[in-house]
Every structure is written in structure tokens, then in C-alpha cells.
A and B are shown apart, each in its own frame.
Chain A
Amino acid sequence: MSDALAAILLLGGSFFMLVASIGLIRLPDVYCRMHAATKATTFGMGGILLGASLIFQSTTVTTQALLAIFFLFLTAPVAAHLISRAAYKRGPDLCDDTTHDAYGKYLEGRKAEEESPQRYGDA
């Protein structure tokens, strides 16, 4: 029973990793690719590590696997956040289907505020 569950977890996990890579190839721009790369890889790694801890049946391995899963869930969004912000500031490169761009307006507004001489007037 636990073997069957472990096999399903392993297969499901690797399948989601494959989905992430297919998404990386198919989706049109960096941000969309990041959607696939962040969500599906974290989920897939979670499946694989849970499967491994079911197979080994040892406290040490389970703790390590749980710590690794916790760490991945903590770091994957932070990495995605850093990369997407850096990508946007380097040159937006949004794909042609994009409908809204609130962040661009915000950055423009902030730039205008920084350049206005008013800010240094009463220092």
C-alpha cells in the first residue's frame, strides 16, 4: 500500500517537473515562463521528496525531506520575485498579448518623483 502511494508520488512529482519544463519552452515571455517554473517545480519536488521519505521509512530521511520541502517552498517565491523584478527593470519585454501593465506606470511615477527638484528644496 505504502509502496503504491510512494510510486504515485514519484511519478506525479516527475510529471510536474516535466510540465514545468514544457511550460518553459512553450509560454511566450519571462513572466509566464516563471509561472510554470515556480509552481510546478516546487510541487514536483514536494512529491518526489515525500515519495522518498515513504520508501526509506526512517526518521532522519523524513526530517531531511520535510526540511528540504519547507526550504523549497520558502525560497522558490523569493527567487521568482527577485528574477522578475530584475527582468522588468532590465527591460520589460512583455509579450504582445499583455493587457494590463500597472507596474510600468508605478515605476514611471516613482522616477518622476525622484527627478523633481521639489524634493531637495527644503532640506
Chain B
Amino acid sequence: MSHSFIASTLRGFTRALSKALVSEQVSARPGLLQQLDPRVRLVGMLALVLAVVLCRRLDIIAALLGLAVMIAIASRVSIASLAKRVWLVIFVFTGLIALPALFITPGSPVLILPALSLAISAQGLRTAILLVLRVETAVTFTTVLVLCTPWVQVLKALRSLHLPAEVVTMLAMTHRYVFLLIETANQMFESRQSRMVGQLTGPEKRKMTARTAGVLLNKSIDMSQEIYLAMLSRGFRGEIRLLDEFGMRARDYAGLAAFLFVGCAAAWMGR
């Protein structure tokens, strides 16, 4: 590919858009998490992530990973795509980071590789497995939460956790305009690519990328001005009011109690 940096940027944009689309589809399915109040989902999954981070025992973290997989299945999240997009990526990335720890962590050797004159220590093995397993489990909980909860509901749940209204509004607006700006940047790169013949030199490529970013910045600032005027025209006076129409039902309370109980029990048992 002659202009691989443009192609890979465009691929990145497509990946982000498809991620958002998958999340929209999964959150519309009638699954376990989807049927619970968004606040319960958020607090429950955060409690479990916290339990994973607090836990120091491998078997308890493995049990939590099992629980995460069960929640994912019950919430109709595709395990195949979870394995491909989450588990494999993390295994490769964190695994690479953890690999040298096998050899350089001081401790009693459990396996000696004579060909490389290296020894794997028991401590090194434990810390590497602990890191990979912990990251896999925490990210599985987060991914399941993100896939099963539309962004609007995440925001409302954050608001009910007493995050300032300004912050929630900014998160909502940013999310909305991320997609518009991705679309704009996508079109800019595509139109540029369709007009290019031959090869660009290194400095030309860098100039083009920076200028595209510059134009995007200009457009963003202009857009913020337009949005502001539109807000003023609708009566914005600097005060933010958000609708909060959640109602907790019996099963929401049961779900919350279950998540918190499991989280606390895991953190206590794995301390």
C-alpha cells in the first residue's frame, strides 16, 4: 500500500465506528445485564473490577474470570468475538510485557532453559500469570458493561452517582461529536487519497497529516461556536438539567446485592 499511514488511520476510524455499532446491537438484546437498571450494571461491574484489582489469589481471580464469562453468555455477548477482540489482544500485549518477568524476577527456579541459559523462577511465573489473568478479567467485566449499556444510560448512571452535571454533559457532547469528527476526518483523508498520484516523501506525509489535524481543529472550534449559539437560542443559561427517570425494581435490588456480595466476598477471600 503506497499510502499506508492513511489506510491505517482510515482502518482505525472504521474500527471505532464498528465497535460503537456492535455495542448498540448487543445492548438491544434481551440479556441478563440489559434487563437490569443501568446504575446497577455500572456499580456492579465496577465493584467486580475493583475486586479483581484487590484480589491477590490466582484461584479467586480465575473464578472471577469464570463469572465474567457467565455474565457475558447470559447477556448474549458473543464469546468468539470477546476471545478474538479482547482476550487474544490482551494476552499478546500484556503477555509480551509480562514475559521477561518470568526470568528476571528473583526467586527459586522451577524450570531451567539450558539452551538459553535462563531460569524461570516460581515468583516470576506467579507474577506473570497474576498480571495477565488480572488484566484479562478486569477488561472482560469492563467490555461486557460497555457492550450491554448504551452510552446515554452510562451517562445517566454516572449522574446518579453524583458526578457533576457539567462533566456528564461534556462527556455526552464529546461522545456525540466524536462520531461527527471521525466522519469529517475520514472524508478529508479519503478525498486526499483519491487525489494523490505517486508517492509522497516523508516530510510531505507529515505535513499532510498535521494539516489535516489543523483543518479539523479549525472546524471543531467553528462547530463549538455554532453549538454554543444554538444552545443559547434554546435558552441555555449555563445551568444544566438532566432527566433522571430510572426506577429501581425488585430484581435491580437483587442484582445489585448479588454483585456487591460477590465483589466483597472475592476481595475478602483473595486478600
Q: Tell whether A pairs with B.
A: no
